[in-house]
Amino acid sequence: MTLKLPIYMDNHATTPVDPRVVEAMLPYFTEIFGNAASRSHSFGWTAEKAVELARDQVGALIGASGKEIVWTSGATESDNLAIKGAAEFHKDRGNHIITAQTEHKAVLDTCKRLEKEGFDVTYLPVEHDGRVNPATVRAAMTDKTILVSIMLANNEIGTVNPIEEIGAVVKERGAIFHVDAVQGVGKIPFDVNAARVDLASLSAHKMYGPKGIGALYVRRKPRVRITAQIDGGGHERGMRSGTLNVPSIVGFGKAAELSRTEMASEAKRLFALRERLREGIQSRVTDTYINGSMEHRLPGNLNISFAYVEGEGMLMGLKDVAVSSGSACTSASLEPSYVLRAVGVEEEMAHTSIRFGLGRFNTEEEVDYVIDLVVGKVNKLREISPLYEMAQQGIDLKSIQWAAH
Amino acid sequence: MAYSDKVIEHYENPRNVGSFDKDDPNVGTGLVGAPACGDVMKLQLKINDQGIIEDAKFKTFGCGSAIASSSLATEWVKGMSIDQAMGIKNTQIVEELNLPPVKIHCSVLAEDAIKGAIADYKAKRQNAAAQVAAPSAPQKAAGGATQKATT
Ligand SMILES: Cc1ncc(COP(=O)(O)O)c(C=O)c1O
C-alpha cells in the first residue's frame, strides 16, 4: 500500500493549501509585489487588479458582488468586525443581540464583550439535532433586537442550520443578519440573497486557501452600515484599514473559484467517503452514537461518540491520524465541548466523541486504513475500560454514585 | 499535546490490565473518578495474610496520562506492604511520568485508587473478623467499618 502517514482528517480545523492556489499566489510575492493602494505607478495598479479579481471570485461563491467583499485577517476578525461594528453603529436603535449557544468562540466571546458594554445578548439553545430552530429566533426577537448572528454550519458537529428560514425570520423585524459561514462556504450552496444575509464571515484556510486571510461580506443593496474597528488609511471603503495582503488575497480568490466550480462533485465524493467511514466503523463497533443531525450535515463531517472509550485516550491511539475530540482533555479547560453539551449530549458521552473532518485530499485508501485503526483501538481501549466491563456485567453506570468533579 | 516517552510506553504496553474477583477476601478494589469528568480508574490489589501486595490489576477509562498513571501504580505497589503502598504520593507519579500541570489530576486519581483499594481490603478484613467473633452480627456493622476506612 502506498499510504502516506500521518493521515490528515481534521479539515474543520484547517485545510492544506491547494497546489493550484499556491501557484496563483507565487508571482505576487516577488514580481507583482506592489501595494494595491498605490495609485501612481503600475506596480500598484497590477496589484489592485489582482485584488479586484479576487473580490469577484470570492463574491461569486456566495452570490454577491465583489464590491461587497471587505478583506480581513480571517474569520475571527470578520466576526468581530461584523458584530461589534453593527452593534456600535446601530446602538441607537436598540441594544439586543441574538446568537446561538453552538456558535464559534469568535462570535460568543465577541458577544460577551458587548454584554459588558451594556448590550443584551440572547444565546439561543439548539435542537437535539444541533440546529437552530427558526421559531426560537422569532420568539427571541424584540423591538430592541438590532442583530442576529447564526452560523451556517457548525465546526464541531458539521450540522447545517436552516439559514434561509432564519434569514426570513430576521427580516420580519428588520434586524441585521450576520452569518458565520466559515465552515459551510465552498462545501454546500450558500447564497446571501436567498438567505437575506447582511453580513457574512469567510475564511480562506477552511477552503484550501492560505491562513490569515478572510473576508466580511457587507451588503450594499440595501446598504448595511457598520463601524470600523481598525482605524488607519481608510482602506476597504473605510471599513478595514491596513495594507492589503495581496498574495493571500489572490490565493483566497483562486481557492474560492476552485470551490465554486468543483463544489458539486467534491461534495458528492466527500459524502461517499464519509458514509464509507461511518458504515465501516458502525458495522464493526457496537455502542457508537452520531452527534448532530445526519441529514443536515456537511458532507465531510463525522462526529461520533464511542461509549466507554475516553476521547483523548482514543486520539493517542490514533496517533498516525489527525482528528480531534470533544473531550475536555484536549483543551486547557477541563470541560467537555460546549457544543456537544448544547446539543444535549451528556458529559460522559461528550468525553468519548471524535470529530473526523474529511477534505479534498483524503482518499478511499485512507478511509479504509482509518476504519481498521479505529476499530482496533476501540476494542483495545474497551478491553482496559472499567466502564465497558461494568456495562458487560449488566451494571447500569448511572446507578453508581460517582465522585463529584 | 506532546506526551512523555514514559506515558507513551505505558499507554502502548499497559502493565497488569485486568480484574480480580472483587468478592475474594484477599482482594481490595478501588474505583475512583467519574465518567462525566472523563476519568475512571479501577485498581485492584491482591494482598496476602502477611499484608504484602502480591499482585495488582487495573482498568482505566481516561486519557493516556490516566492510563499510564494507573499502569505505573500497579507496577509500583507489587511486593510492597500495605503501609508502603499507602505512602505512595501522586507527586512521585508526576515526576516519574513527567506529567504536565493539566494532567496532575490523573496522578491524584491513581493515588486515590491505591488508597481506595487498601481501604476496601481493610474493611473486608474487619468485616470478616467481626463475623468470626459474632457470626450473627448484623451486616450493618460491616457497612460502618467500610465507611470509617474510606474517610
Ligand atoms: C465557525 C468558525 N468561525 C470562525 C473561525 C475562525 O476563523 P479564522 O481561523 O480564520 O480566524 C473558525 C475557525 O476556527 C470557525 O470554524
Q: What is the pLDDT along chain A (405 residues), one digit of tens a residue?
A: 579 999 999 999 999 999 999 999 999 999 999 999 999 999 999 999 999 999 999 999 999 999 999 999 999 999 999 999 999 999 999 999 999 999 999 999 999 999 999 999 999 999 999 999 999 999 999 999 999 999 999 999 999 999 999 999 999 999 999 999 999 999 999 999 999 999 999 999 999 999 999 999 999 999 999 999 999 999 999 999 999 999 999 999 999 999 999 999 999 999 999 999 999 999 999 999 999 999 999 999 999 999 999 999 999 999 899 999 877 554 555 678 999 999 999 999 999 999 999 999 999 999 999 999 999 999 999 999 999 999 999 999 988 888 765
Tens of pLDDT, residue by residue over B85-100, are 999 999 999 999 999 9
- Who among B32, B60, B102 is closest to A384 (CB)? B60
CA dihedral A97, A99, A101, A104 (to 10 degrees): -110
Tens of pLDDT, residue by residue over B121-141, are 999 999 888 888 776 544 443
Min Cα–Cα distance to chain B from A309, Å: 6
The answer to whether the beta carbons of residues A21 and A29 sit under 8 Å apart is no
Centroid of ligand 1 to alpha carbon of A215 (angstroms): 11
Q: Is B40 touching A (CB cutoff 8 A)?
A: yes
Atom number of ligand 1 nearest to Cα A77: 11
- CB contacts of A396 in chain B (<8 Å) are none
How many other C-beta atoms lie within 10 A of the C-beta of residue A295? Answer: 9
Rounded-to-integer distance, Cα B45 and Cα B82, Å: 10
Centroid of ligand 1 to alpha carbon of A181 (angstroms): 9
Q: Is A104 in the pocket of ligand 1 (CB under 6 A)?
A: yes
A176-180 and A199-203: which strand pairing? parallel
Task: List the single residue in A with minimal CA-CA distance to B101.
Answer: A332
Predicted pLDDT of residue B150: 34
Tens of pLDDT, residue by residue over A147-173, are 999 999 999 999 999 999 999 999 999
| Chain A residues 284-343 with a CB less than 8 Å from chain B | 308-313, 316-317, 327-330, 332, 334, 336
Rounded-to-integer distance, Cα A374 and Cα A368, Å: 10
H-helix or E-strand spanning residue B125: helix B104-133
C-alpha cell at B34: 467519574
Predicted pLDDT of residue A336: 83
Predicted pLDDT of residue A331: 53
Q: Is A155 in the pocket of ligand 1 (CB under 6 A)?
A: yes
Q: Is A329 a catalytic residue?
A: yes
Q: Do the chains contact at A403 and B60, CB–CB below 8 Å?
A: no
Q: Is B63 touching A (CB cutoff 8 A)?
A: yes
Q: Is A203 in the pocket of ligand 1 (CB under 6 A)?
A: yes
Min Cα–Cα distance to chain B from A212, Å: 23
| Chain B residues 86-115 with a CB less than 8 Å from chain A | 102, 105
Centroid of ligand 1 to alpha carbon of A21 (angstroms): 20
Centroid of ligand 1 to alpha carbon of A405 (angstroms): 31
- CB contacts of A327 in chain B (<8 Å) are 38, 63
Q: Is B106 a catalytic residue?
A: yes
Predicted pLDDT of residue B7: 96
Contacts with B127 (C-beta within 8 Å, 6 or more apart), sequence order: B141, B142, B145, B146
- CB contacts of B58 in chain A (<8 Å) are 384
Predicted pLDDT of residue A1: 56
H helix and E strand count, chain B: 6, 3
Predicted pLDDT of residue B149: 32
Cα dihedral sign, A301-A306-A307-A312: negative
Tens of pLDDT, residue by residue over B43-55, are 999 999 999 999 9
Query: Which of A392-403 are b and which e, b meaning 16 or more Cβ less than 10 Å from the residue's Cβ?
Result: eeeeebeeeebe
- Who among B3, B40, B41 is closest to A316 (CB)? B3
Q: Is A106 in the pocket of ligand 1 (CB under 6 A)?
A: yes
Enter the DSSP assignment of A292: S
Give the largest Cα separation in chain A, rounded: 80
Q: Is A403 touching B (CB cutoff 8 A)?
A: yes
Centroid of ligand 1 to alpha carbon of A359 (angstroms): 16
Predicted pLDDT of residue A329: 52
- Please tell me whether the overall predicted TM-score, pTM, comes out greater than 0.80 for this model: yes
Q: Return left, alpha or beta for A130; rule: phi > 0 is left, psi -120 to 50 is alpha, else beta.
A: left
- CB contacts of B62 in chain A (<8 Å) are 310, 312-313, 329
Predicted pLDDT of residue A335: 72
Contacts with A186 (C-beta within 8 Å, 6 or more apart), sequence order: A61, A206, A207, A255, A256, A259, A260, A263
**Average pLDDT of chain B, as a whole number:** 89
Which of A71, A99, A178, A182 for a ligand 1 pocket mutation test, highest count of atoms within 8 Å of Cβ? A182
Rounded-to-integer distance, Cα B28 and Cα B80, Å: 14
Contacts with B85 (C-beta within 8 Å, 6 or more apart), sequence order: B45, B53, B76, B77, B114, B118
CA dihedral A186, A192, A198, A203 (to 10 degrees): 10
